[in-house]
């Protein structure tokens, strides 16, 4: 396998981003953070790419921050992007986490920074930072309580205990639980379903869902209109309606 700490592969409109440090259980160092940020830039800039998948090499998603690098003074943060070049950044295009093995500490925070999560049934999730005298500062304490019940989020934060994929699915934290070794394949199928849709509509829908969490009820429809209206007046909107009437697959132009 290549020595690059982050690998990318594009196919059928989907960019697969792989953390490639299997010898360190895909722990995030500065090189990984920069690599993920660069891959996200590629995803955002390439109009042929409709969705991304974040995964890890050798059947492990990510064990979190590289503590050896941290002790030596290395910080795996990208300015404006946060931990691992992603945790404080909101992508314009959908990003799916394909989880095998462990998604722990910063690895868990990476997963919950993605829009959707597909996980192998033997995978494990957790923010064990308190066991190491640290805090889950890359989103575990601020994002997780918005994604699962508050008391469960507190339990994970204060005990540092792990939960199974089955428990994460029960909590509606992940979208799909699949057989071990098939998370990437399942994520690719999910990404293909997204990529088949109108790119303007997908981007606007994601932006609205993301931003609406912070909108007050008396402003939400006005804010939505600003984002949605350009989609309704686009060439893709006409093409989608025409293709439906003609019973054929639409040919999206992204405009």
Joined together, the tokens standing for residue 29 give 């160092």
Tell me phi and psi for residue 32, to 5 degrees.
-65, -45
**What whole-number distance in Å separates Cα of residue 204 and Cα of residue 220?**
14
What SS3 state is found at 2?
coil
Helix axes 199-212, 220-232, angle to 10 degrees: 170
User: Do the beta carbons of residue 157 and residue 105 sit within 8 Å?
Assistant: no
Interatomic CA distance for residues 65 and 4, integer angstroms: 17
Spatial distance between the Cα atoms of 5 and 29, rounded to a whole number of angstroms: 9
Q: Give the CA diameter of the chain.
A: 63
Bridge partners, residue 102, by sequence: 124
- Specify whether the CB–CB gap between 110 and 84 falls below 8 A: yes
Q: Give catalytic residue positions.
A: 109, 129
């Amino acid at each position: 396998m290549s020595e690059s700490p982050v690998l990318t592969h594009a196919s059928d409109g989907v960019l697969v981003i792989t953390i490639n440090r299997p010898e360190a259980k895909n722990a995030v160092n500065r090189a990984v953070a920069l690599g993920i940020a660069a891959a996200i830039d590629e995803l955002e800039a390439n109009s042929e790419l409709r969705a991304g998948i974040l995964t890890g090499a050798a059947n492990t998603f990510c064990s979190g921050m590289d503590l050896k690098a941290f002790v030596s003074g290395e910080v795996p943060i990208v300015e404006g992007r946060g931990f691992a070049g992603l945790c404080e950044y909101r992508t314009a295009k959908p990003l799916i986490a394909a989880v095998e093995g462990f998604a722990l500490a910063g690895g868990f925070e990476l997963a919950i920074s993605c829009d959707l999560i597909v996980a192998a049934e033997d995978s494990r999730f957790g923010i064990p930072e308190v066991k190491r005298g640290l805090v889950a500062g890359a989103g575990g304490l601020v994002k997780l309580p918005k994604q699962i019940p508050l008391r469960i989020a507190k339990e994970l934060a204060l005990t540092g205990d792990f939960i199974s994929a089955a428990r994460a699915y029960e909590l509606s934290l992940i979208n799909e639980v699949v057989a071990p070794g098939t998370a990437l394949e399942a994520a690719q199928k999910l990404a293909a379903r997204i990529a088949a849709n109108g790119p303007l509509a997908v981007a606007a829908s994601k932006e609205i869902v993301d931003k609406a969490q912070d909108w007050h009820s008396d402003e939400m429809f006005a804010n939505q209109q600003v984002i949605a209206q350009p989609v309704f007046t686009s060439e893709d909107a006409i093409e989608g309606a025409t293709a439906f009437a003609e019973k054929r697959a639409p040919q999206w132009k992204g405009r």
